[in-house]
Structures are given as structure tokens and as C-alpha cells.
Amino acid sequence: MTHFSIFSLLSNAFSANENWRAQWPEASPKSEYDVVIVGAGGHGLGAAYYLAKEHGITNVAVIDKGWLGGGNTGRNTTIIRSNYLYDESARLYDHAVDLWEGLSQDLNYNVMYSRRGVLMLAHTEHDVQSFRRHIHSNRLNGVDNAWLTAAEVKAYCPPVDISPRKRYPVVGGALQRRAGTARHDAVAWGYARGASARGVDIIQNCAVTAIRRGPDGAVIGVETDKGFIKAKKVAVSAAGHTSVVMGTADVRLPLESYPLQALVSEPVKPCFPCVVMSNSVHAYISQSDKGELVIGAGTDQYTSYSQRGGLPVIEHTLAAICEMFPMFRRMRMLRMWGGIVDVTPDRSAILGKTPVKGLYVNCGWGTGGFKATPGAAHTLAWTVAKDEPHPINAPFTLERFTTGRLIDEAAAAAVAH
């Protein structure tokens, strides 16, 4: 298999995806697999990799209707952090950060993990109280997080304007130094290469049209536009479309899908040292290794599968960015897009078994999907292999919506990606 150099990773993401599509060897599906994973994004490919590496299950197919990494994995703002409020979330996301830190070495593929820190700005007294609560909760869970004064915020990130008369005055911030960024498509390709080398089949341009169940109700395989594929177990990890796929197995999920807005600027020399977020004004910003400013906004106010950006949301975000970082007012924007995010009622993921024997689901990550990639993939592989939840993902079951044991992370995840 071709090994792609770092220079390929630094080329334009869209043209690179097209080149990789052409060079990846097309796999012809076999008639039967032990496990079929629907969705060749970071979570699906990662789960296949860990199934093969840690559980010895190599008769696995990862199926995608498009090309690998062509969904949300290649359509996000690359931020990694674990400063979530509740114990269950902190454990899951910190597990992911643990894996992120050694992922390049594990895969022998540079995913360009950069431990540059994530700084969340406080603009009001409510922000201060909320962030201090998060900091105390994080420290109790062993997650690093620290409060900075406005002057310390300025010292850590010089482009921030802390003038008190601003429309969004900066009164402090919460800093997770261990957080950072990684290269999104490199993660997909690193996992894909590692899984493929261990015997996993990766089948692109193959849409799953239905999940089939036998007379006893258990999963027996999937229908695709290339024919029926028999499988002992099926795991669905198709961001934005999971509810549609699961519906074919008569499993209803409490999900809504929204476009999530983002855009990038023209590339410039290194000028921005970290990731900065502002929940109050629905904006966050970092600088990629190519030099682009990566700017994110909130979700649109309507459900949709559209992958186009919405101008009202973008205009509000850019106005806030220009006020907080005046040096960027003359920057030119190159492109904008919308990723499709699945949102649950409590803004936390569903990760585990379903009521259907042999059927597993990984969905509902909302704005947290990329940062959770290795942790979600690792625990999903465990659950599929052992048919039981990993201790870390055990609270994230579908049953919590009937028992009422919700994990309400709306405050931590509504805007801050």
C-alpha cells in the first residue's frame, strides 16, 4: 500500500481526498464477515483497527457510501480537549486524549497531534462561575484545567484584545494545557492503513441500504448497493445518517441532525499560538499547520443534511472574531462549509449495544465527535468484541433515555468544539 508523505497531508484537503480515493485499492466485499462496520470515518476505521490489534478480530469490513474520511472526519475543526463537566464525559474524553498523545507512534503515521492548549474565554460573571465550576469538577476527575486572569489570558495568547470597553470584554479564561489539535484526514488515513495492514477490508462507494435481521430478531447482515453481505455483528458509526441506517433494523434513536458551521482563511505565517473558544459569542479559532485560520461557529437553527454554510451564523461569528482579535480584520476567507452533527437530548453520545442482538451503535456526538475519536473507537471495539460495555462507555447506553440517567453536557458542548 502506498505510504503518503507529510507533504501530501499539507496539500488542499479536498484535492487530497480525491487523490487518495483514486489510489486506495478497491476491495471487493466477501460474502461473510465476523463484523461489518458502517461508516469509514475516524470512529469506524479506528474501531476496526482496535478490533484487529487488541482483540484479534480481523475478518472485518468497514463500508462507506463515499470515500473514507469524507464525512465529518474530514469536515471538522480538529480540536481535542477533555474539559467536560460530568464524571462520565471527563473519563471518556480524557481516555481519548491519552490515546491521542501516543497515536502517531501507535499507528506509525503522523497525525500531527499538537498539544498547544485550549483557552475558553469568559466575558460575563456567569461565564466566570460556570468555568470555575468546570475547573473544580475537572480537577476532581484528574483532568487538567486552570483559571487565568485577563492579563494571564493576554500573556498566553497575545492576539486577544482584553480592552474593558469591548462589546465582549475578556474577564478571564479556563485553560486546558494538555488539549490541542490534530490533522483530521491524517487520523482517518492512519487508522485505515493500520487496519488494512491487519487484514481489514475497507469498501468505499458502497451504500448500506438496510440492516437485515433473522427470524429470531438477531442481525444477519447488511444489504448494500453491491449486494447482501452476511455478518455476525454490525456496528453503525455513520455521523449524520445513523438514525436512517438504524431505522432499517427497526431501532429508533433520539437524534436530530444539524449543519455545524465552519470556515478557513487564507494561509499566513504562524501568528496564533493556541485554540481559543468563546461560548458566549459562538466563536472559536485556531491556526492550522498550513497557516489557515480555522474558525468555527454554532449549529444552524434548523434540522438538515445540508453541508453548506449558513451566512447569518457565519456573519455573527466573524463579527465576534474581529472584535476579539482586531489583527484579523483584513483576513480573507477561502471557504466555508457545514458538517452534519447528530444531537441527542442530553448532548452526549450513544455508544454501546442496542436491543437487537449483534447490533451496536456509535452516534450522537454532536460537536464532540473528532476529539473523542480514539476513545470512542477503542471502547466501541471492546463492546463489539466482548458483547459488553467497556467501563468507560457503560454510561452512554441507549437505555439512559428511558431510565432518566442522562449526561447533560449542553453547557460544555453547545458551541465549544
Q: Of 328, 343, 358, which residue constitutes the final position of a domain?
A: 343
d(CA 47, CA 383): 10
Tell me the chain's radius of gyration from C-alpha atoms: 21
Q: Of 343, 374, 397, which residue constitutes the final position of a domain?
A: 343
* Whether 159 and 31 share a structural domain: no
* Whether 13 and 152 share a structural domain: no
Q: Of 305, 320, 343, which residue constitutes the final position of a domain?
A: 343
- In DSSP terms, which residues pair with 175 in a beta bridge? 119, 146
Selection from 285, 288, 306, 305 nearest residue 297 by Cα: 285
Phi then psi for 106, rounded to 5 degrees?
Answer: -65, -45
Q: What Cα–Cα distance (Å) separates residue 234 from each residue in 52, 199, 212, 251, 355?
A: 15, 18, 10, 13, 13
* Whether 285 and 402 share a structural domain: no
Query: How distant is the alpha carbon of residue 177 from its chain centre?
Result: 20
Query: How many domains does the structure of the chain reveal?
Result: 2
Q: What Cα–Cα distance (Å) separates residue 235 from each residue in 51, 93, 152, 195, 386?
A: 12, 21, 46, 16, 13
pLDDT tens-place values along the chain, 417 residues long:
333 333 233 333 334 444 444 455 566 678 899 999 999 999 999 999 999 999 999 999 999 999 999 888 988 899 999 999 999 999 999 999 999 999 999 999 999 999 999 999 999 999 999 999 999 999 999 999 999 999 999 999 999 999 998 888 999 999 999 999 999 999 999 999 999 999 999 999 999 999 999 999 999 999 999 999 999 999 999 988 899 999 999 999 999 988 888 899 999 999 999 999 998 888 899 999 999 999 998 777 767 776 666 667 788 899 999 999 999 999 999 988 877 889 999 999 999 999 999 999 999 998 899 999 999 999 999 999 999 999 999 999 999 999 999 999 876 644 443
Contact 276, 119 (CB under 8 A): yes
* Whether 352 and 331 share a structural domain: no
Residues 6+ apart with CB under 8 A from 4: 20, 189
Domain extent for 192: 6-77+184-254+345-413
* Whether 193 and 222 share a structural domain: yes
Residue 105 lies in a domain: no
* Whether 154 and 272 share a structural domain: yes
Q: For position 159, which CATH number holds?
A: 3.30.9.10
* Whether 167 and 272 share a structural domain: yes
Selection from 317, 217, 331 nearest residue 262 by Cα: 317
d(CA 111, CA 183): 6
* Whether 240 and 291 share a structural domain: no
* Whether 264 and 167 share a structural domain: yes
Contact 179, 82 (CB under 8 A): yes
* Whether 141 and 164 share a structural domain: yes
Contact 391, 72 (CB under 8 A): no
